[in-house]
Amino acid sequence: MSRERLSSLLLASTILFAALGAATLVPFPNPMISDLGYHTLCPFAPWSTLTLLFVAGLSWVVRQHINAQNV
């Protein structure tokens, strides 16, 4: 796999994980109340949000490292 393709896949995964992390905070009528005190799309918010944002950040760091190797 070429570095450009891997960099593009890591960018796509960064965007996907960041969007999923934001989606966990969306108010949603479900039977469980999250630790934030309201009904969210994910009842494990904010912990699931932090986990997804950490994975997005990790993907971004790996992408930056791969791009630095191209120089």
- pTM value is 0.88
The conformation of residue 69, written as its DSSP 8-state character, comes to H
Which sign does the torsion angle of CA 52, 57, 60, 65 carry?
negative
Q: Which amino acid is at 65?
A: H
Its domain, for residue 31, covers: 3-69
Count of structural domains within the chain: 1
Q: Has residue 53 got a pLDDT over 70?
A: yes
Per-residue pLDDT for 1 more than 90? no
Mean pLDDT of the region 1-26: 94
- 5: pLDDT confidence band, cut at 50, 70 and 90? very high
Phi, psi of 34 (to 5 degrees): -75, 175
For residues 41 and 23, the answer to whether their CB atoms sit within 8 Å is yes
Q: Which two tokens stand for residue 3?
A: 């570095």
Q: Are 53 and 42 in contact (CB under 8 A)?
A: no
| 70 pLDDT more than 70 | no
